């Protein structure tokens, strides 16, 4: 028997977050999103709900792992502010890796991460390697007591506000995914330079580049096993990709609700525009696509929670739902006429913010490669 219902706990959680998203986040979304300042106040408010600690050890203020709950949080909060709502996804991804760090690293970084006092970036992409992530060139050269890091990371979310970054670097002479390790690198130290990159949206996320110029990393800052860092991060992307699909759909949900309300108020030729099929059919189409896309994302997160294979489902959730969301927001903008294009309204802002997720965490083309190779392998081995 299949059930599409959330548990009572999940419903209670969703209701309280929906209230927070509508009352505390939505009214200030346009103002916050026009600034490159990280929204620390909103981030700390979010931390008070406890959701930045999902999947983290209880001794540091965390609660048991629950990918569905994290997806629910991303979707529900994105109704109010898609940038603030990215935090549970990013921290879910970063925290799950920090769990493989040493005791010292966990004690130092997990409590403030969960309390909303710091952010930690994830630095994989480089100027010469994005989709082809295992082609990274940043080098970690062993030396007594640790390593020296040299290289550049680019397009990094939270580069400008993070206290530290998970940096992927390879041992000298290694190739592709072999020999890549993950290091926790504090960013306020000699040899590290952070420089901002202005995107078309997501401004408060502090997007930018990180340069590492012979930066010393002590032995106890290795995360997970030496040489196996690449495979570990790929596993965690299977969670964040499904959650990012829901993040985009939350922003689209707000946009479509606004469009449906507006269509009933706006009159042309003596009638509300909701009387015209030219307006209601697009609403119906976006509503249908969004329903299907949402179910896909939750199926991926449910499969992860149940320990079932979900890599292809996660990739499906990353290529299609952000596209569905982007199209729905565009549709909502069109129904609003000139107001949809106005910078005073949230629609154009959501459009620019959601566009980021057609690329971040792996482009649509890369997701399709993963889905197709899963299909070919399955059919080939049948
Ligand atoms: C808003 C935002 C936030 C980001 N945050 C982070 C972050 O926090 N940390 C981080 O490490 N990175 C981050 N990234 C980087 C992101 O992961 C990369 O941009 C992405 O993986 C694509 O890499 P690229 O930009 O180098 O494009 P490329 O890999 O150069 O790709 C260029 C184009 O070629 C296509 N392409 C490439 N290879 C193939 C192929 N084999 N088949 C078909 N098409 C192909 C791609 O789909 C794309 O359309 C972020 C990016 C954005 C936009």
Instruction: Report the DSSP pairing between strands 267-268 and 222-223.
Output: unpaired
Residue 343 in any domain: the answer is yes
**Based on the domain organization, do 239 and 372 belong to the same domain?**
yes
Residues 314 and 342 in one domain: yes
Q: Is the CB of 360 under 6 A from ligand 1?
A: yes
Q: Are residues 364 and 234 in the same domain?
A: yes
In a domain, 39, yes or no: yes
With a 6 Å cutoff on the Cβ, whether 119 touches ligand 1 is no
Q: Please write down the long-range contacts of 106-110, taking CB distance under 8 Å and 24 or more positions apart.
A: 106/57, 106/60, 107/60, 109/163, 109/164, 109/184, 110/56, 110/57, 110/60, 110/61, 110/62
pLDDT at residue number 1: 54
> 28 CA distance to ligand 1 centroid (A)?
30
Q: Is 162 in the pocket of ligand 1 (CB under 6 A)?
A: no
Ligand 1 in reach of 89 Cβ (< 6 A): no
Ligand 1 atom 31: residue of nearest CA? 131
The total domain count for the chain is: 3
How far is 196 from 183, CA to CA, in rounded Å?
22
Strands 146-156 and 208-218: antiparallel
Evaluate whether residue 239 is within a structural domain.
yes
Specify whether 104 is located in the same domain as 234.
Answer: no
Residue identifier of the C-alpha nearest atom 27 of ligand 1: 130
- Domain assignment of residue 55, yes or no: yes
Query: pLDDT tens string for the chain (382 positions)?
Result: 568 889 998 999 999 999 999 999 999 999 999 999 999 999 999 999 999 999 999 999 999 989 999 999 999 999 999 999 999 999 999 999 999 999 999 999 999 999 999 999 999 999 999 999 999 999 999 999 999 999 999 999 999 999 999 999 999 999 998 999 999 999 999 999 999 999 999 999 999 999 999 999 999 999 999 999 888 888 888 889 999 999 999 999 999 999 999 999 999 999 999 999 999 999 999 999 999 999 999 999 999 999 999 999 999 999 999 999 999 999 999 999 999 999 989 999 999 999 999 999 999 999 999 999 999 999 987 6
- Please count the other Cβ atoms lying within 10 Å of the Cβ belonging to residue 46: 25
Q: What is the pLDDT of residue 231?
A: 84
Cβ of 346 below 6 Å from ligand 1: no
- 65: domain CATH number is 1.10.540.10
Domain match, 162 and 57 both: no
279 lies in some domain: yes
Specify if 235 maps to a domain.
yes
Q: Is the CB of 71 under 6 A from ligand 1?
A: no
Question: Domain check: are 209 and 245 in the same one?
Answer: no
- Say if residue 16 is in the same domain as residue 49: yes
Closest atom, ligand 1, to C-alpha of 366: 47
Nearest residue (CA) to ligand 1, atom 35: 365
Tell the residue nearest (CA) to atom 9 of ligand 1. Answer: 156
| Residue appearing with tokens 């997990």 | 110
CATH number at residue 189: 2.40.110.10
**Do 142 and 256 fall into the same domain?**
no
Ligand 1 pocket test: which of 86, 130, 132 has the largest number of ligand atoms within 8 Å of its C-beta?
130
pLDDT of 160: 98
Q: What pLDDT is recorded for position 301? A: 96
148 and 239 share a domain? no
Q: How far apart are CA 121 and CA 210, in angstroms?
A: 10
Same-domain pairing of 237 and 294? yes
Contact 228 CB / ligand 1 (< 6 Å): no
- Its pTM stands at 0.97
For residue 22, report the distance from its CA to the centre of ligand 1, in Å: 32
| 1 domain residue, yes or no | no
Are residues 250 and 369 both part of a single domain?
yes
Element holding 211 (H helix, E strand) = strand 208-218
Residue 125, ligand 1, Cβ within 6 A: yes
Question: 119, 152, 186 — which closes off a domain?
Answer: 119
Same domain, 148 and 275: no
- Res 230: pLDDT: 87
Distance 359 CA to ligand 1 centre (A): 5
Q: Which of 71, 95, 119 is the last residue of a domain?
A: 119
**C-alpha 340 – ligand 1 centre gap (Å):** 29
Backbone angles phi, psi at 47, to 5 degrees: -60, -30
CB 359 near ligand 1, within 6 Å: yes
Does any ligand 1 atom lie closer than 6 A to the CB of residue 363?
Answer: yes
CB of 356 within 6 A of ligand 1: the answer is yes
CATH number at residue 248: 1.20.140.10
User: How many Å apart are CA 209 and CA 363, to the nearest integer?
Assistant: 19
Ligand 1: nearest atom to the Cα of 153: 11
Q: 235: which residues sit within 8 A by CB, 6+ positions away? A: none
- Report the alpha-carbon distance of residue 109 to residue 56 in Å, rounded: 12
Q: What is the pLDDT of residues 7-58, one digit of tens each?
A: 998 999 999 999 999 999 999 999 999 999 999 999 999 999 999 999 999 9
Domain assignment present for residue 204? The answer is yes
Residue 63 φ/ψ, nearest 5 degrees: -135, 165
- Give distance in angstroms: CA of 10 to centre of ligand 1: 33
Q: Which domain holds residue 349?
A: 230-380
Q: Does ligand 1 come within 6 angstroms of the Cβ of 358?
A: no
Out of 184, 209, 228, a domain closes at 228
């Amino acid at each position: 028997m299949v059930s599409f219902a959330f548990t009572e706990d999940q419903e209670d959680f969703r209701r309280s977050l929906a209230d927070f998203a509508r009352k505390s986040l939505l009214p200030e979304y346009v103002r916050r999103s026009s600034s490159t300042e990280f929204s620390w106040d909103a981030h700390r408010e979010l931390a008070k709900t406890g959701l930045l600690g999902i999947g983290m050890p209880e001794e540091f203020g965390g609660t048991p792992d629950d990918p569905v709950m994290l997806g629910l949080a991303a979707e529900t909060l994105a109704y109010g502010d898609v940038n603030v709502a990215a935090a549970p996804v990013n921290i879910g991804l970063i925290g799950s890796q920090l769990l493989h760090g040493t005791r010292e690293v966990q004690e130092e970084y997990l409590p403030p991460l969960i309390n909303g006092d710091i952010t930690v970036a994830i630095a994989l992409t480089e100027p010469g390697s994005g989709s082809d992530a295992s082609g990274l060139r940043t080098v970690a050269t062993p030396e007594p007591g640790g390593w020296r890091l040299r290289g550049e990371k680019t397009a990094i979310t939270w580069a400008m506000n993070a206290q530290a970054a998970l940096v992927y670097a390879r041992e000298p002479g290694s190739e592709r995914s072999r020999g890549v390790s993950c290091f926790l690198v504090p960013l306020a130290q000699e040899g590290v330079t952070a420089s901002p990159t202005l995107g078309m949206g997501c401004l408060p996320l502090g997007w930018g580049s990180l340069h590492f110029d012979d930066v010393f990393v002590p032995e106890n800052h290795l995360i997970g096993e030496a040489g196996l860092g690449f495979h570990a991060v790929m596993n965690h992307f299977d969670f964040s990709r499904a959650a990012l699909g829901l993040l985009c759909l939350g922003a689209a949900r707000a946009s479509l609700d606004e469009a449906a309300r507006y269509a009933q108020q706006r009159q042309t030729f003596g009638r509300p525009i909701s009387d015209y099929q030219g307006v209601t059919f697009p609403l119906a189409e976006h509503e249908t696509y969004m329903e299907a896309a949402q179910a896909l994302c939750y199926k991926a997160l449910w499969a992860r929670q149940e320990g079932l294979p979900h890599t292809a489902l996660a990739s499906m959730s990353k290529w299609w739902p952000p596209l569905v969301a982007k199209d729905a927001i565009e549709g909502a903008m069109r129904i609003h006429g000139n107001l949809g294009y106005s910078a005073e309204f949230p629609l154009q802002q959501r459009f620019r913010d959601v566009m980021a997720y057609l690329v971040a965490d792996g482009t649509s083309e890369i997701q399709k490669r993963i889905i197709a190779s899963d299909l070919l392998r399955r059919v080939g081995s049948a």
